[in-house]
Amino acid sequence: MSTLLLALAAGAVVGLALGTLGGGGSVLAVPVLIHLLGFTPVAATTASLLIVTATSATALVAHAREGNVRWRRGSLFAAAGILPAMLTAVLADRVPDAVLTGAFAVVALVSALRMLLPRSTADGGREVRAAPAAAAGAGLGAVTGFLGVGGGFLAVPALVGVLGLRMRLAVGTSLLVITINSLAALAARTGTADGLDWSVVAPFAGAAVLAAWDGKRLGARVSAGLLQRVFAVVLLMVALYMLVDAVG
């Protein structure tokens, strides 16, 4: 398969996951960029941030049209992650490739396991303490900046468990959080974007953006739980492969 077709196919999967599940797809972008498209770990995480920003912003518009975004609470949650995202984005350029790849493999493994486990559905009536919300937002920002992933697999459970949002609202609001954190991380990584292969990144991002719209419609027709389990199994295999490769 040619590089262009690989980029288009991978972008479609990432976009569908973000549009349907509110996160998780970006975790697959980095290993594809590294192992199939020949990017270095640092370049892959930077390219992933570009792809995630464009895709999550597109999916955010679709969810916002249906009233599934809590703008104020989502913005406050994301604000706690802006500085950590920028700091860890700078740090990522200073660690060995094996460390970055190994850390990513662990996060991808956690993401897959979280998707395979049942998630709580809060009713939105829970009173939220500021400290847990700030800590969760900061942790999510740090992961986004360091590994170049949106962190939706962490954002959605946090928005449900910490902010007390219903699952439908948590999915939509997570896209706002992902967009803000990814933009902050990109601002700190401007120097690492110079050497990116735009002939790969552009079609990857374009396919992801288009698929994000389809993902929103697909989520209304097909069981999101089934899609999540299928994606989680694929991600689990990718994570284990990367972990073995990193320690080997």
Mean pLDDT, the chain, rounded, equals 81
Q: What percent of the chain has pLDDT over 90?
A: 17
SS3 per-residue string spanning 89-149 = HHHHCCCCHHHHHHHHHHHHHHHHHHHHCCCCCCCCCCCCCHHHHHHHHHHHHHHHHHHCC
SS3 84: helix
Q: If you write DSSP's letter for every residue of 12-81 in order, what string do you get?
A: HHHHHHHHHHSSSHHHHHHHIIIIIT---HHHHHHHHHHHHHHHHHHHHHHHHHTT---HHHHHHHHHHH
For 185-206, the pLDDT digits (tens) are 988 887 666 678 899 999 999 9
Phi then psi for 123, rounded to 5 degrees?
A: -100, 5
Confidence of residue 147 (pLDDT cuts 50, 70, 90): confident
Single-letter amino acid, residue 95: V
**Dmax over Cα atoms in the chain, in whole Å?**
52
Mean pLDDT of 239-243: 83
For 52-99, the pLDDT digits (tens) are 888 888 888 888 998 989 999 899 999 999 999 999 988 888 888 888
Q: Is 103 exposed, middle or buried (0-12, 13-18, 19+ CB in 10 A)?
A: middle
> To the nearest 10°, the Cα dihedral for 240, 11, 7, 241?
0
- pTM: predicted TM-score of the whole model, two decimal places: 0.78
The residue to which tokens 């912003």 are assigned:
57
| List of residues 6+ apart from 146 with CB closer than 8 A | 45, 88, 89, 91, 92, 100, 103
Q: How far apart are CA 27 and CA 6, in angstroms?
A: 16
Nearest 5 degrees, angle CA 118-CA 122-CA 125?
170
Given a contact cutoff of 8 angstroms between Cβ atoms, the answer to whether 22 and 175 are in contact is: yes
